[in-house]
Chain A
Amino acid sequence: MREPLIALDQDLRVISVSRSFYDFFKVKPEETVGQLIYDLGNKQWNIPKLRELLETILPQKTTFDNYEVEHDFATIGRRIMLLNARQIQRVSGQELIILLAIEDITERREIEIGLEKTRRELEKIKLAENEAREYAESIIDTIREPLIALNQDLRVVTASRSFYEVFKAKPEETVGQLIYDLGNKQWNIPKLRELLETILPLKTSFDNYEVEHDFATIGRRIMLLNARQIQRMSGKPRIILLVIEDITKRREIENGLGKAHEELEALAAELKRTARAKSEFLANMSHELRTPLNSINGFSEVLFDETFGPLNDKQKKYVNNVLISGKHLLMLINQILDMAKVEAGKMKLTLSHLPMKALLSEMVLLVADMAEKKKLEMRVEISDDLPDIDADELRVKEIIYNLLSNAVKFTPEGGHIGIRAVGTGEAIAIEVWDTGVGIALENMDKIFEGFFRVDTPYSRLTEGTGLGLPLSRKMVELHGGVLSVESKGLDQGTAIRFTLPVHSNRGA
């Protein structure tokens, strides 16, 4: 027997011990046999728990098993022992002897404790590993791009949620499969084979590898593949992470954008060409129209002036009609051309210093005759501190003359017209108003469209092109000012206000 064994008599004196007892407790037979157990090894065995066992428990039970005793021995240090005792009757007599088997479980216990510790650590590691795995998996599942992990044999280890969603696949028909066999061999793509079998082993990673493929389930797709070969710790085989980004839509949008861009450029070129053609057409047209007008106006002028002999009254009146119509036509051509020039951005302003008070008085004088003929009362309010401005003299005169003559034209006899001009610091503000026919609300926008003349009893009596107001607004804007119209409605009069900066920019 390997375990130390000791036989005691009823008085708890040692009868005999096994050899292992001597070896184990480093004692000799002469200092053991016949001794009280408690006195053994210099009273080392005087252990309260042993006393309790031998003196209290054993007499009642005759046996006890696996009684654990921990004790610090002088010779062999702290030990944990498992005690098993039997009270037996000797064959050759009536006396009882006690057999005590002492099992030293110190090391076993240490191992057990160590094992327990290791187990707990292992559990912790497992927990950490699970956490890490969950973390990784949640990341993988969160990523919108489909991701699959392959082992060295290119079989699917795991795939992300988005992979299943995008490629309409199920986990049970995916995990463990060779990638090429996925989805009824849909993934058997030559370019992918090349990547995984040729490129990846050499490079361990590749980025943005574009693959176009016609999938049975989801149709033709353009994918961007990114792969990493990951060397796992602890010598496990490598795994390959493959991220599949579906860029079909993005590519479509890009292509669409490119196409749209091209179309836009073509359109812009076409517009440019059209604009040039339009401006060439207008230049030609104005030339072609002015040439015969030169004759019409020139000859009727010469006739009217009776340069080559007198006319009778009727002849003179008729040739004057020709002349007036010719001049009207000329004005129309000039205004159309001006309008075209503004729209083509070709209208250049010739800025000069304009003494505004003098200029306004001059314009007022120019329409005073016309106003008087219609018995219109004209009120002129030019602020004393009205500043001079830098502007295109001809254009400014055209604007003011146009507005004043409109006021005269569209105001019935006996009405009022007026002009007000004030300085506003950086600009001047001019208002030309009348008590005339006004503008119906529904026509407010139309009056700037050109060739629009409000059909009133007066419009038939008046000469005009309908281009005066739109052109005036363009000219004001070209100077950097604003022109607006106010009328409370038909027969409520009209007020046209505009501003001109004290220092205009050069236009065009």
Chain B
Amino acid sequence: MGKTALVIDDNANNLLLEKDVLEVAGFEVFIAENATKGISLAREKRPGIIIMDMRLPDMRGSDAAKQLLLYPETRDIPVVFVTASVLAEGIEEIRTIPNAVFISKPINTRTFAKEVTQFMK
């Protein structure tokens, strides 16, 4: 079975770029432009990893990650936050969530897929 990833980002360009880079690296990629759609897609598709923006239109990325923890089918999926925020508060927020890491924006297209793969089990 091939590698699968879910990318949740409300910025269409980011979504497209991350999807492209991951697909080039051999991932099957699902996309969602908000947290609600992302969570239901995650429960349906059970991707190997979820890549999520911290700021989403309907809720904060960290809150979405906490919701994913509520469902047995999504509880163990690792989450990579892609964040442009470099303030300490944002980093602290991520530390409270198990199974989550962050990659700071802008992403390095040459290493992004490799980094993401590292976080998968």
> Hey, which bits of chain A sit against chain B, CB under 8 A?
279, 283, 286-299, 301-302, 305, 307-308, 330, 334, 337, 346, 348
CB distance from B116 to the nearest CB of A (A): 14
Q: How far is the CA of A348 from the CA of B88 in the complex (A)?
A: 9
**Chain B, range 6-29, C-beta contacts under 8 Å to A:** 11, 13-14, 17, 20-21, 24
> Hey, which bits of chain B sit against chain A, CB under 8 A?
11, 13-14, 17, 20-21, 24, 55, 84-88, 105-110
Partner of A291, one of B20, B84, B86, B109: B84
The answer on a CB contact under 8 Å between B14 and A291 is yes
Instruction: Name 12 A/B residue pairs within 8 A (Cβ), A-sorted.
Output: A279-B87, A290-B106, A291-B11, A291-B84, A292-B13, A294-B17, A297-B109, A301-B109, A302-B17, A302-B109, A307-B109, A334-B86
Task: Specify the chain B residue showing the minimal Cβ separation from A301.
Answer: B109
On whether A298 and B109 interact (CB within 8 A), knowing A287-B55, A307-B20, A307-B24, the answer reads yes
Q: How far is the CA of A295 from the CA of B17 in the complex (A)?
A: 7
Q: Which 9 A-B pairs rank lowest in CB-CB distance, beginning with the nearest?
A: A290-B84, A294-B106, A295-B13, A287-B84, A301-B109, A298-B17, A290-B105, A283-B87, A297-B106
Please, which residues of chain B bring their CB within 8 A of the CB of A279? Answer: 87
Number of A-B contacts (CB under 8 A): 66
Please, which residues of chain A bring their CB within 8 A of the CB of B87? Answer: 279, 283, 346
Task: Specify the chain A residue showing the minimal Cβ separation from B108.
Answer: A301
The answer on a CB contact under 8 Å between A298 and B106 is yes
Identify which of B13, B21, B105, B110 gathers the most chain A CB atoms within 10 Å of its CB: B105
The answer on a CB contact under 8 Å between A286 and B85 is yes
The answer on a CB contact under 8 Å between B13 and A337 is no
Partner of B86, one of A298, A302, A337: A337
The answer on a CB contact under 8 Å between B85 and A287 is yes
The answer on a CB contact under 8 Å between A294 and B85 is no
On whether A286 and B86 interact (CB within 8 A), knowing A294-B14, A294-B17, A301-B110, the answer reads yes
Partner of A286, one of B20, B55, B84: B84
On whether A330 and B20 interact (CB within 8 A), knowing A287-B55, A294-B14, A295-B13, the answer reads no
Q: How far is the CA of A290 from the CA of B110 in the complex (A)?
A: 18
Q: How far is the CA of A297 from the CA of B104 in the complex (A)?
A: 13
The answer on a CB contact under 8 Å between B106 and A305 is no
Please, which residues of chain B bring their CB within 8 A of the CB of A346? Answer: 87-88
